Every structure is written in structure tokens, then in C-alpha cells.
């Protein structure tokens, strides 16, 4: 149909901690959601997955970014 039903999942070291709302029928989603997460000093990676919700089959991963502890230490303000 030329559009997706995207949502995001935030994981810390493969443990899902946040799931955003689904933005229906768009290729340019905006969530406008904010979360505060306390990271343990031993974490390795924060991953953000962009998923396409699908009622008839398994949701598809349409994007992913992984931010390591070292990357955050180098750029603490983002």
C-alpha cells in the first residue's frame, strides 16, 4: 500500500524496556514521546528498533541503531 505502521522498541542489552505507540499508515512517523531511562554502569548497548506492525504476520524490523556505552561516553549530550 506504500505505507507502514511503524513503532519503536528500545532495548538495553537485548532487554526490551520501552515500546512506543504505533503511528498508522505513514512512511514519515513522528512519535514525540520522551522517556527517562537509568542505565546500569555495566550496560553494553542501547538499541532502538523501528518495527512495522502487521496484523496478519510477524512484525518486520525496518530499521535499527545501536549506541554503545563508549559512544555515549564520548558524546554525553547526544
pLDDT tens figures, 15-43: 999 999 999 999 999 999 999 988 899 99
H helices present in 1-78, as ranges: 69-74
Find, among 14, 12, 13, 51, the residue nearest to 35 by Cα.
12
What does the pLDDT read at residue 11? 97
- The residue ranges of DSSP E strands in 22-76, in sequence order, are 45-52, 60-68
pTM: 0.87
Average pLDDT over residues 58-71: 95
The pairing of strands 45-52 and 6-12 is antiparallel
* Residue 78 scores a pLDDT above 80: no
Q: Look up residue 30 and give its DSSP letter.
A: -
Average pLDDT value over all residues in the chain: 93
* Residue 1 scores a pLDDT above 70: no
Domains of the chain: 6-74 (2.60.40.150)
Amino acid at each position: 500500500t506504500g505505507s507502514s505502521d511503524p513503532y519503536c522498541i528500545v532495548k538495553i542489552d537485548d532487554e526490551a524496556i520501552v515500546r512506543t505507540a504505533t503511528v498508522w499508515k505513514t512512511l514519515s512517523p513522528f512519535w514525540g514521546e520522551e522517556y527517562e531511562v537509568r542505565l546500569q554502569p555495566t550496560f553494553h548497548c542501547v538499541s532502538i528498533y523501528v518495527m512495522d506492525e502487521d496484523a496478519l504476520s510477524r512484525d518486520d524490523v525496518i530499521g535499527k541503531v545501536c549506541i554503545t556505552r563508549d559512544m555515549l561516553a564520548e558524546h554525553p549530550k547526544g
